[in-house]
Chain A
Amino acid sequence: MSMKPQGRPTAPIGTDPVKNGPTHTGNKALQIEEKLIFEIGDFRGTGVDFAQAKGLPPRLGGLARKDEIGLPGLSEPQAMRHYVRLSQKNYAIDMGPFPLGSCTMKHNPRLNEKMARLPGFADIHPLQPVSTVQGALELIDMLALWLKELTGMPAVAMSPKAGAHGELCGMMAIKAALVARGEADTRRRVLAPESSHGTNPATAAQCGFTVDDIPADKTGRVDIKAFKAMLGPDVAAIMVTNPNTGGLFERDIRQMADLVHEAGGYFYCDGANLNAIMGKVKPGDLGIDAMHINLHKTFSTPHGGGGPGAGPTVLSEALAAYAPVPYVVAKGKEFELVEKRSQGAETSFGRMTAFHGQMGMFVRALSFMMSHGIDGLKQAAEDAVLNANYVLTRLKAEMSPAFPGFCMHEALFDDAFLKDSGVETIDFAKAMIDEGYHPMTMYFPLIVHGAMLIEPTESESKEELDQFCDALLALAREAKTGKTDKFKAAPVFAPRRRLDETAAARKPVLRWVSPAQ
Chain B
Amino acid sequence: MRYLPLNQSDRAKMQDVIGINSIDDLFADVPKNALNPAFDLPRQQSEMAVERALGEMAGKNISGGQGPFFVGAGAYRHHVPATVDHIIQRSEFLTSYTPYQPEIAQGTLQYLFEFQTQVAALTGMDVANASMYDGSTACAEAALMARRVTRKNRVVISGGLHPHYASVTRCNSELIGDKVVLAPANIKGDEDLIAMIDDQTSCVIVQNPDVFGHIRDLTPIAEAAHEKGALLIAVFTEVVSLGALQSPGAMGADIVVGEGQSIGNSLNFGGPYVGLFATRQKYIRHMPGRLCGQTKDADGQRGFVLTLSTREQHIRRDKATSNICTNSGLCALAFSIHMSLLGEKGLRTMATLSHEAACDAADALSALSGVVLLNDNFFNEFTLRLPKNAEQVAEDLAGKGVLGGVPGGRLWPEQEDLHNLLLVAATEMTSTEHIRKFVAALREVL
Contacts and interface: CB of A to CB of B under 8 A. Distances in A.
Direct chain A–B contact by Cβ atoms under 8 Å:
yes
Given A37-B114, A499-B102, 11 more contacts: A50-B350, A53-B356, A69-B247, A133-B62, A135-B60, A206-B176, A251-B31, A305-B93, A372-B1, A376-B44, A497-B299
A500 B75 contact: no
A334 B35 CA distance: 36
Interface in B77-135: 77, 81, 83, 85, 87-108, 110-111, 113-114, 116-118, 120-122, 124, 126-128, 130-131, 133-135
A68 interface: yes
A139 B61 CA distance: 11
A514 B93 CA distance: 27
Interface in A115-158: 115, 117-129, 131-136, 138-139, 146, 149-150, 152
Nearest to A94: B91
Contacts of A386: 6, 11, 14-15, 18, 23, 26
A43 to B, nearest CB: 7
Contacts of B215: 60-61, 63
B164 A69 contact: no
Given A46-B346, A164-B313, A373-B43, A510 B295 contact: no
Contacts of A349: 171
B325 A162 contact: yes
A56 B426 CA distance: 15
B136 interface: yes
B271 interface: yes
Contact of A430 (B103, B216, B315): B103
B413 interface: yes
20 contacts: A36-B110, A54-B356, A59-B359, A65-B243, A73-B340, A86-B107, A108-B95, A115-B55, A124-B269, A136-B269, A198-B325, A202-B313, A277-B30, A281-B27, A281-B30, A304-B88, A308-B272, A373-B42, A380-B4, A406-B28
Interface stretch (B199-207, B221-229, B300-308): B300-308
A285 B30 CA distance: 11
A495 interface: yes
Contacts of B176: 206-208
Interface string B242-273: 11111100100000000100000011111110
B106 A43 contact: no
A309 B42 CA distance: 25
Interface string A405-429: 0101000000000000000000001
A229 interface: no
A303 B356 contact: no
B290 interface: yes
A487 B403 CA distance: 61
Nearest to B409: A340
A238 interface: no
A393 B20 CA distance: 11
A80 B83 contact: yes
A356 B96 CA distance: 26
Interface in B381-425: 391, 394-395, 398, 403, 406, 410-411, 413-414
Contact of B133 (A36, A44, A162): A162
B326 interface: yes
Q: Which of A114, A121, A282 has the most CB of B within 10 A?
A: A121
Nearest to B168: A351
Contacts of B323: 164, 167-168, 199, 202-203, 205-206
B87 A339 contact: no
Given A80-B87, A86-B110, A164-B323, A172 B175 contact: yes
Given A92-B91, A353-B136, A128 B6 contact: no
A370 to B, nearest CB: 5
Contacts of A251: 29-31
Given A87-B90, A135-B59, A149 B44 contact: no
Interface stretch (A6-14, A98-106, A259-267, A472-480): A98-106
Nearest to A337: B410
Q: Which of A152, A341, A500 has the most CB of B within 10 A?
A: A500
Contacts of A100: 97, 100
A401 interface: no
A174 to B, nearest CB: 11
A15 interface: no
B271 A124 contact: no
B318 A201 contact: yes
Contacts of B378: 59
A230 interface: no
Contacts of A69: 121-122, 242-243, 247, 344, 347
A444 B74 CA distance: 39
Nearest to A207: B175
B37 A281 contact: yes
A360 B51 CA distance: 15
A481 to B, nearest CB: 24
Interface residues of B, number: 206
A498 interface: yes
B186 interface: no
Q: Which of A89, A149, A464 has the most CB of B within 10 A?
A: A89
Interface residues of A, number: 203
A128 B133 contact: no
A304 B350 contact: no
B110 to A, nearest CB: 6
B35 A393 contact: no
A306 B6 CA distance: 28
Interface string A43-78: 111111011011010111101111111111110100
A343 B329 CA distance: 35
A462 B13 contact: yes
A307 B30 CA distance: 32
Interface string A376-396: 100110110111011001100
Contacts of A126: 74-75, 267, 269-271
Contacts of B14: 386-387, 389-390, 462
B345 to A, nearest CB: 4
Contacts of A484: none
A402 interface: no
A55 B318 CA distance: 54
B342 interface: yes
Contacts of A324: 171
A448 interface: no
B403 A496 contact: no
Given A123-B65, A354-B136, A458 B342 contact: no
Nearest 8 pairs between A and B by C-beta? A73-B343, A355-B270, A120-B58, A135-B60, A304-B330, A126-B270, A308-B272, A61-B377
A64 B130 CA distance: 28
Contact of B341 (A74, A164, A372): A74
A233 interface: no
Interface in B315-331: 315-320, 322-331
B43 A375 contact: yes
Nearest to A254: B31
A79 interface: yes
Contact of A354 (B97, B168, B391): B168
Given A461-B6, A495-B106, A510-B116, A123 B295 contact: no
Contacts of B2: 371
A494 B34 contact: no
B6 A357 contact: no
A339 B410 contact: yes
B269 A340 contact: no
Contact of A286 (B31, B144, B268): B31
Contacts of B376: 59, 61
A371 B45 contact: yes
Interface string A164-197: 1101100010010000000000000000000001
Contacts of A496: 102-103, 106, 297, 301, 303
Nearest to B133: A161
A127 B74 CA distance: 9
B195 interface: no
A458 B295 contact: no
A86 B269 CA distance: 30
